[in-house]
Amino acid sequence: MISPFFKKKETSEKPSDQPQDLVPGSLPDQTDLAADAGNEDRAYGANVPNKSKMDKKSLDLIFAVEQMIQAKQHTELQVNELQDRLTHASGNIDRLNRDARHLNKVIEEREKSILELEQKIVDKNMKVDQVVEDYSELQRKLSAEIEELKSVIELEQQKYQGLLQKHNDTLGEKNKRIHELEEKIGRQEVENQHLKQKYEATHQEKVYLANMISDFTNRMSAPLGRDNQ
């Protein structure tokens, strides 16, 4: 048979066995839990009869009740620890929510910037495509002009080669003519030298003959008496 004390304890412990919502601020404070546990221990110690006068069954029951009380205290400490962890987690969640809102705002701004950059890139690509098209058209025109200039240059080179060949032929003829004239001049100089020598000899001979004639004339014109004297 269970004494009224144990029935009272079981009745007072039943609300503690029911689950409670772990909501921040809904659990009792750790100081209140410790005070309640101390009050229950004192009430239990005051109501426990002398164990020396109890039988084994009563002692086992008292031991079981003490174990339940200790388990209850341990559970209350765990609940308090969970409350602290929940409060800390709630703070982290609030911080993470603020960070998430901030990141969402940053992401929206970045997405807006990305869209603007994409539009700028599209505009740049359009300009680049236009420049490439203009460059291709200019390259085609320049290629046609270059081919035309190549034809003109080739024709001018042919003319130049013809003129150069003609010039070389003329120069060869001129050099040949100069060489012939130089040879002719050389022969003429030799001939002139011979003629000069011949002229000198003839001149000396004429002078000699003139002197002889003059001397002969002088002798012939002199009086005969003088000759006899």
pLDDT tens digits, residue range 123-182? 999 999 999 999 999 999 999 999 999 999 999 999 999 999 999 999 999 999 999 999
CA atoms within 13 A on the CB side of 122: 6
Cβ neighbors of 54 (< 8 A, separation 6 or more) are: 62
**Tens-digit pLDDT profile for residues 80-139:** 999 999 999 999 999 999 999 999 999 999 999 999 999 999 999 999 999 999 999 999
Cβ neighbors of 106 (< 8 A, separation 6 or more) are: none
Distance CA 41, CA 46 (A): 8
Whether residue 62 contacts residue 54, with contact meaning beta carbons closer than 8 Å, is answered with yes
27 burial (CB, 10 Å; 0-12 / 13-18 / 19+) is: buried
Distance of alpha carbon 54 from the chain centroid: 93
Domain ranges (residues) in the chain:
27-46+54-117
**Tens-digit pLDDT profile for residues 15-38:** 343 333 333 344 344 445 445 545
- Which helix (H) or strand (E) segment holds residue 47: the answer is helix 30-47
